[in-house]
Structure 1
Amino acid sequence: MAPAPFDLAAARMREHDAWYVGDPDRLARHYSSAPAARTRPSQYRGGLVGAASRFFWGRPSPPDQRRTRLHVPLAADIAAASADLLFSEPPRLTVDNPRAQARLDDILNTPTIHSGLLEGAEVAAALGGVYPVYLRVVWDAELEAHAMLDPVDRRCPARHWRGVPDLAPLGRSDLDGVEPLLDALDETYSSWMRDVRLAKARLLVPVGYLQSQGPGQSASWDDDQEVFTELNMLTRGDAGAPITATQFAIRVQEHRETVEEIVRAILRTAGYSPPTFGDHDDGAPVTATEITARERSSERTRAKKSLYWAAGLSSISAALLDVDRTVFGTGATVTAPPVVKFPDRTQPDPEALARTAQLLHAGESASAEVRVRMVHPDWGEPEVAAEVQRILDETGRSVPDPAAFRGFAESGDTVDGLEPARGR
């Protein structure tokens, strides 16, 4: 048991962990054993009193009935999406020392580190925590000849802990405040599936149509049987013994609209846009500009989280270089912490960039180099210089270097078949 006040944080983390893991048994145990969710007679009643008394997952199941509650793993999807938004493409860390930069690239630019950042970001989104605080510097000379970063599970502030100074640095989970909505989503989906189960076609047949299975073994009905033995039984008028088919309607539209609204409310509270999770209004193709507009909430959340991660990664990577220099004698020193830059998540629309470059060229407000860098932001200096030269050559605006031309003249060579000028 964690000491006060950290017991509050531990309890909250256990709750969020249950939603993140998504095990129905674990959810049921958590809400059944929570102090505010003790069994009361009202929980067994119908109507609003019973519905409001506890979470859906905390209500006791009726005796002698199999569990039919369904869990929707949206909490896990939110945590995974948060990690993908931040680290699907790893950030770039730069320092002022070329030797230290090479060492930093060797250590951090590896699949192990990239996957570790994804793992740490996903767990932090689910359980909370000031993000990179739970990365630590470790080393093992028998394993690797350099220091390493290691993500620590479970150990931004949470709204619930604003008044508790000791808990303020622990940060906030993406699930903070949406637990009742997650519970309502599971209840709605379970109701939907209940309609599906109840809507199975069933036949109500007279007892005489049942085939006895022997003394004490009840009776059964063969729905593939085509001919039945005539039975002596009371009927209404001339009608035969009735066989009644029952099949309830499935309230698909009502359930779907309820689920969609709950999901939108969850994502809105957590700070994400539905398109981040593949939820588009239609299947029509969209441009990168339209994607950016639709995912504005997710982009804002990513921008805010990247500030925390950048600050933490800068500090811990500086510590990493210090440990690496001390333990392995690399001599790679830096005068300032590394600069962390997260790549742009949404790639620019090539068509929109081409139109912008054309307008800049027509308005004579940007050079060929600026336009090339705009259209090809991932190119380095050699590629940009070569492309600029090709553009100048193709447009006839490439002017020979006068110094080079004079050199030809002084050497006595010909240029384009002309004799060089002779001095008098």
Structure 2
Amino acid sequence: MQDEDSEADHEPIAEAEIAGVSPTPGLDSEASRAEFRELVESAGAEIVGEIAQRRAKADPATLLGAGKVEEVAAAAASSNATVILVDHDLTPTQLRNLEDALPCRVVDRTQLILDIFARHARTREGQLQVELAQLEYMLPRLTGKGSSMSQLGGGIGTRGPGETQLETDRRRIQRKVLHLKDELESVRKVRGQQRHRREAVPVPTVALVGYTNAGKSTLFNALTHAGVLESSRMFATLDPKLRSLVLPSRRKILLSDTVGFIRNLPHTLITSFRATLEEVQKAEVLLHVQDCSSPTQEEQKAEVEKVLAELGAENKPRLEVLNKVDLLPEEERELLGPDAIAISARTGAGLDLLLRRIDAALVADPIVRRILEIPQDEGAVLAALDAGALIEAREFQEQRVRIEVSGPASLLGRYRRFWATPSSEVDPV
């Protein structure tokens, strides 16, 4: 997203040159570079070359050493690259110095992720959140050209250099940021009202969280048949999805699909997308979906835990779901253990186990077992129990039906008048 007064330009980058530095601690060099390649391809760029540098300490002026900057400049010129992508966050000074020293535009990791988010935002809320994050990223990186950018006033009291264009741009962006925050606050309030209405009827929410491209959307589709976009590209899901799901106990829940996390997820994105990520904060149970076939599974798991802590959701009850088990060799599957929730969202393997484990993890509106005696002419009551609970046994007695039923406490509580045993004898399931 661009500022409303600037010209929007979302054309794919035709060619790119990657300059890399030492990878994130915990992630080996090749894994780090492979992940960055996926980001670049998700942005629609064609990679024409890669250069990496390992340094004990980043250069405060240019991030890279002086010799490496010259090497990148020569490689970019010889390959006719149109943009240089850096797998690191650049300070405003580093960005300015690199763009002065290199023959084309420089984009750091955060700006690249923001560009991918801008491509995938479909709802008005998603677009607002991306635009806010982009403006907050841009604000400290505005640079002026001294007095050459000054606006000269005319008339009494306005002679000499006036407010610089840089200051004007900053003030305009700050006003836009405040406006976007107001709009997102309105969205947050609407979400809150919708949530309060949902909470009036006890339907718990279960949220999918996980590293980007772990298979959350594929799992969401497999469970709800929602038909949302499934893609191997990073951040294919940006706008949140919420669908109802019936568990084996006949209890209904709302399943939420959320944006994927990634290492070094820009703080501006976490802040801007807080309205969307409220579904994670309010969920009763989190399903942490992991790609168990990935060689960096443990590092990815740690990054998700880090973001959950920043959201204040680190103590939420959660189930660890090991997805893509179909990609593991048989001997590695056996090492997962009998208690692991090993599934394949693509093939459907293990989904029945997952639903049972979700059922067992929910605390709100618990499943109880009751015996009811219902007149046979109460057809609507019998139909409601058939639809929303499990009938364990049924016995016809003259004009009444005696049934033993397991179901949500809220549902059985509606028909208290038909209970055959006192409320103190309610049996939890």
Same-fold call, TM cutoff 0.5? no
TM-score of the aligned structures, taking structure 2 as reference length: 0.26
Q: Which has the higher contact order (CA 8 A, sep 6+)?
A: 1
